[in-house]
Amino acid sequence: MAVDRAIQVARQDGDAPPTLRLYEWARPTVTLGRFQDADSVDADYCSAHGIDLVRRHTGGRGVLHDDEVTYSVIAGVADGIPRGTNASYRMLCGGLAMAYGLLGVDAALTSRPRGSRDSAACYLHTTQADLSMGVRKLSGSAQVWLGSTVLQHGSFTISRDIVREASVFRLTAEERERLSQDTLTLESALGIPPTRTCVRQAVAEGLAEALGLDIVAGKLSAGELEIAARLHSELLQQIPPVSRTAGSR
């Protein structure tokens, strides 16, 4: 999460190009929205079951990351991103829908938001920034703007452990049933789980098309690493002490 924000800071300062970052998680990890109360998840359950708990800079509700490919895209108005949350979501989620299409999943922006206001779990809510197949939610996205630069990230979930997710977010029996019935993973949509390599390629192609940019491999600069280290220390102060430091790969 600190690296995502560091790239955004560098892009806003003109020290980094528009960037697509794809990563996976070394172990199951919950990311809390920027303003989400840490008590909205069961930190004791997370600690007992080896689930990390971290905070991200974007808003929204909690997400349990596990068997998935996570993306972050950082770009600015100068790169063709329309100013404003709704317009930028439409553009970037259009690229994500293309990525799902390349994987064989007919995804579209969710037409009618719905969901329980009380639940801490992101996947029990739908917004106009979500992608769905029919009426079932595939994925959500979260954003934060810094000047004229946006950071958006989300997940392409390959499979989901309903019992674990329900325990993390203290879901009721009704909410657990809704999580099972109202959401889809890539595995459940396709019948077989796609490889992470296929998912990464599809996301890169879809977002490259949406942004009108060629994507080339790169690495973090010394400046980005320095910013990330500072932000990481700040983020650690915002989570319960029972949590460990999350790792991505």
Please give the structure tokens belonging to residue 210.
């949406």
How big is the chain, counted in residues? 249
Q: Choosing from 46, 93, 122, 198, which is the catalytic residue?
A: 122
The alpha-helical segments, DSSP class H, found in the chain are 2-12, 43-48, 85-102, 162-168, 173-182, 186-190, 196-211, 222-236
The neighbour count for residue 23, using CB atoms within 10 Å, is 17
Residue 122 annotated in active site: yes
Cβ 154 vs Cβ 139: under 8 Å = yes
Q: Identify whether the C-beta of residue 194 lies closer than 8 Å to the C-beta of residue 157.
A: no
Close Cβ partners of 231 (under 8 Å, ≥ 6 residues apart): 2, 5, 6
C-alpha span between 65 and 63 (Å, rounded): 6
Nearest-CA neighbor of 14 among 85, 81, 84, 76? 76
Q: Give me the active site residues, please.
A: 122
